[in-house]
Chain A
Amino acid sequence: MTRYVIGRLALAAGVMLVVSMLSFSMIYMAGDPAITIAGESATDADINAVRKFYRFDDPIYAQYGAWMANALRGDFGRSYYLRAPVGELITDRFPTTLLLGGLAMLFAMALAVPLGVAAAVKPNSLVDRLSLMISVLGQALPGFWFGLMLILLFSVKLRWLPPSGTESLKNFIMPAITLGYYATPAMMRLTRTSMLDVLASDYIRTAHAKGLHPAVILFKHALRNAIAPVVSLAAVQLGFMLGGSVVVESIFSIHGLGHLAWESISRNDFPPVQAIILTLSMLYVALTFCADVLNAWLDPSIRLE
């Protein structure tokens, strides 16, 4: 197990290195960054000054090295537009995004796993079709529309929940549902398939032959074996939620990372974008790593190796 964890860690570090190179080289993908920064009315002298100031003339590996060395110390440079250290911007916004993503995942799990189990217990029954319908809806409804409808119902009509902002946990209910509902269908379907496989296995037949209560068979013997792939998927989904909350954050005026990324991209403001990509992919790698370790722990044949 220890060797396994070390191996995974090394792999994660490798992935991070590649991602950092990619996100660094992004700055050159949209043309000469000096021209962008200097603005439309800049003279050649201005552009040269900018180039000198940001050291765009240095060889690319030197620039990357300097950027990486700073990044490792938590210094991601300054936003060209906001004139503030990117590190501060991110630490400001990140908790909001993390809270939103976490709540959304909680909602998705709480909906998907029971629905998937219920569907697997009685395949092709009314329950199965109903859970299919609920989950297909989640995939079919565009987030911006679904979010607006929630606002219309719960904020405008019923006046139960605030439509925007981040003042209290109540503000996060609708955004979390909007973001989480989209992730539900895949997880529900996977829970269902995985449970169906497990319920048809020999050891479940053994459990029946032992005279165990159906609930014990379902939740102890079956779910424990069926949940591993769902855990992996959830980790990947959480990564998507953290990075892909741009739309939801805009609808509900939540100033998280997604919102910052969207703003910075539209302003050609690269340092924040680079830093956000790096942070999110780091999170993504960390989540996948956790899922792998959790899966390994769930499966005794890996855990005990």
Chain B
Amino acid sequence: MNSAPVLSVRDVSIALPASGERAYAVRNISLDVYPGETLCIVGESGSGKSVTAYAVMRLLPKMMRLESGAIFFRGRNILNLSMADVRALRGNAVSMIFQEPMTALNPSFTIGNQLREMYSRRPKPGDPKGPPQRAASILELLEMVRLPDPARLLGAYPHQLSGGQRQRVMIAMAMALQPALLIADEPTTSLDVTTQARILDIFRDLRENNDTAIIFVTHDFGVVAEIAERIVVMEKGAIVETGTAGQVLNTPRHAYTRKLIAAIPRMRAEKKALAPGAGTVLKADGIGKTFYTRRGLTRRLYTVAAVKDVSFHLKKSEALAIVGESGSGKTTLARCLMRLLETDAGTLKINGVDFMALRGDSLVRHRRAIQIVFQDPYSSLNPRKTIRDTLLQGPANFGVPGPQALARARQLLRTVQLDENALNRYPNQFSGGQRQRICIARALMLSPDILVADEAVSALDVSVQSEVLKLLDDIRNRTGLTLLFVTHDLRVASQVCDRVLVMKDGGVVEHGPVSEVFNAPRHPYTQTLLAAIPGRHWRSLS
């Protein structure tokens, strides 16, 4: 670091509205970013990492007030600038890209139109990028982010591009005027791993070929290990550790950093100790599901074969992971098995009963055997019902006497490590992790034979995620529960499951024991997926 920092944040405190759970979003934080470096700001949700990024852009939501401190960009305090001066910096000297590429581009204008705006907005005398060179340099930008067929893309609208392609357009747009600082707020979080790996490649390119400093905000230490040169770790609005990538990743000093790194799910591909039971609980044969949708105002008929000819058997107390990227059909499959969706093909036997043939009352009776925990703990509990009501509703449906059900509810709350007085509280009084435990307790209330976890830990912070995973493992060891674990995260899958089924475009590409599939993947797609896991070269993870 022989040059002066391009950005210096000094003692910045940002107040939250009075009703919030804490007074400050960030408190007295200071950090420096040097030209050409990639600085990662890591932290869990609520750590203040994104707020810091928005403060630099002067894009804080109105309810957040920057109370004290200074943010120097090339020696000028951004906080004292007029809005006109801030606008002159934005996109020009400091640019930003966001987490959700699907909605970050204006749906009504072409990619070309939105890229050209970067040049047309600020006519500067003697600007080397005058109109004649513009078209060429826009094409160069699109080539830089490795978008196919750039010339054709200029005329395309955002809805014609995938999420990964849109994020590339956002990067191209942010780099258009060669800013001194690029802020990326969780730019790969909502993308599939393989797409994420390609976007991270682009960030590495940027670092090598430009002098642009990058602030990369993320919750994922795997991603950090891939691209960071320096790391800032934040917890509850404060910076707890700063250092070079090697130092923070390999010899973390602060307890919180160590806890975060310890909580990252590792690839665990050794043989599991637990031996599956004798009986087969679930037999799925040739399950198929095709969606027919009429889209747009033309009501044109589209058919999507979401699940194609999927077969597998589950023995008692086995844990099977169904992995795949978005659109692979894994969630549709889970919903078909639950009969939340009706299948078009195949047979499903649960405990020897033909589950697909059940109708009316007999279906309701047999639903007890297979229960589900959904991805989003925030929307899957009825906000107007107490936890007691939520837990007792299922057993009441099956005629379990009240006192008996209540006793089981108490016992299950202890199992999921919640206090008994949770019974009288409402979902909004719990954190995301606690809610997911409640959802697990709710699913277990009916003593199911099979528990389906549909991305059940994906929305949780890593530290909470590892606790929930451990909980599921414990319950399985103790009760012999059969687990069907749907996830996009191979590391998580390897943590809890004995067998894995890899799905792509609705079909199964590989199926076998975790130790075989992850140690010696046969299908190229599985190999791609494994290679895309961020941070796989980092020795703490491997």
A interface vs B, CB < 8 Å? 3-4, 7-8, 201-203, 205-213, 216, 220-221, 224-225, 292, 296, 298-302, 304-305
Please tell me if the beta carbons of A7 and B104 are within 8 angstroms of each other in the complex. Answer: no
Our pick among A7, A203, A292 for the contact of B106 (Cβ within 8 Å) is A203
Please tell me if the beta carbons of B90 and A4 are within 8 angstroms of each other in the complex. Answer: no
Please tell me if the beta carbons of B157 and A300 are within 8 angstroms of each other in the complex. Answer: yes
Contact with A along B280-314 (1 / 0, CB 8 A): 00000000000000001111100000000000000
Please tell me if the beta carbons of B98 and A210 are within 8 angstroms of each other in the complex. Answer: no
**A70 CB, min distance to chain B CBs, angstroms:** 35
Task: List 7 A-B pairs, minimum CB-CB distance, nearest first.
Answer: A211-B90, A211-B91, A202-B103, A210-B91, A300-B157, A203-B106, A301-B159
Main SS at interface, chain B: loop
Our pick among A203, A212, A305 for the contact of B105 (Cβ within 8 Å) is A203
Measured CB to CB, the nearest residue on chain B to A209 is B96
Q: How far is the CA of A302 from the CA of B90 in the complex (A)?
A: 33
Q: How far is the CA of A7 from the CA of B298 in the complex (A)?
A: 7
Q: Which residues of B contact A211 (CB under 8 A)?
A: 86-92, 121-122
Main SS at interface, chain A: helix
Q: How far is the CA of A305 from the CA of B302 in the complex (A)?
A: 12
**B423 CB, min distance to chain A CBs, angstroms:** 37
Measured CB to CB, the nearest residue on chain B to A201 is B103
Please tell me if the beta carbons of B173 and A225 are within 8 angstroms of each other in the complex. Answer: no
Q: Which residues of A contact B160 (CB under 8 A)?
A: 304
Chain B interfacial residues counted at CB < 8 A:
35
Q: How far is the CA of A208 from the CA of B98 in the complex (A)?
A: 12
Please tell me if the beta carbons of B106 and A221 are within 8 angstroms of each other in the complex. Answer: yes
Q: Which residues of A contact B105 (CB under 8 A)?
A: 203, 206
Please tell me if the beta carbons of A305 and B296 are within 8 angstroms of each other in the complex. Answer: yes
Please tell me if the beta carbons of B170 and A225 are within 8 angstroms of each other in the complex. Answer: no
| Most chain B Cβ neighbours within 10 Å, of A7, A203, A224, A298 | A203
Q: How far is the CA of A202 from the CA of B107 in the complex (A)?
A: 11
Decide: A305 near B298, CB < 8 A? Known: A209-B91, A300-B159. Answer: yes
Please tell me if the beta carbons of A225 and B106 are within 8 angstroms of each other in the complex. Answer: yes
Please tell me if the beta carbons of B298 and A203 are within 8 angstroms of each other in the complex. Answer: no
Please tell me if the beta carbons of B298 and A202 are within 8 angstroms of each other in the complex. Answer: no
Q: Which residues of A contact B106 (CB under 8 A)?
A: 203, 206-207, 221, 224-225
Measured CB to CB, the nearest residue on chain A to B295 is A305
Q: Which residues of B contact A209 (CB under 8 A)?
A: 57, 59, 90-91, 95-96, 98
Q: Which residues of B contact A8 (CB under 8 A)?
A: 297
Q: How far is the CA of A199 from the CA of B110 in the complex (A)?
A: 19
Q: Which residues in window 80-130 of B have CB below 8 A to A?
A: 86-92, 95-96, 98, 100, 103-110, 117-118, 121-122
Measured CB to CB, the nearest residue on chain B to A228 is B108
Q: How far is the CA of A302 from the CA of B299 in the complex (A)?
A: 11
Q: Which residues of B contact A206 (CB under 8 A)?
A: 98, 104-106, 170
Please tell me if the beta carbons of A7 and B107 are within 8 angstroms of each other in the complex. Answer: no
Q: How far is the CA of A182 from the CA of B92 in the complex (A)?
A: 47
Q: How far is the CA of A202 from the CA of B103 in the complex (A)?
A: 6
Q: Which residues of A contact B122 (CB under 8 A)?
A: 211
- Of the A-B pairs whose beta carbons lie under 8 Å apart in the complex, a sample of 25, sorted by A's number, is A3-B300, A4-B296, A4-B298, A7-B299, A202-B98, A202-B100, A205-B104, A209-B95, A209-B98, A211-B86, A211-B87, A211-B89, A211-B92, A212-B91, A212-B117, A213-B121, A221-B106, A225-B106, A225-B107, A299-B107, A300-B108, A300-B110, A300-B157, A301-B107, A304-B160
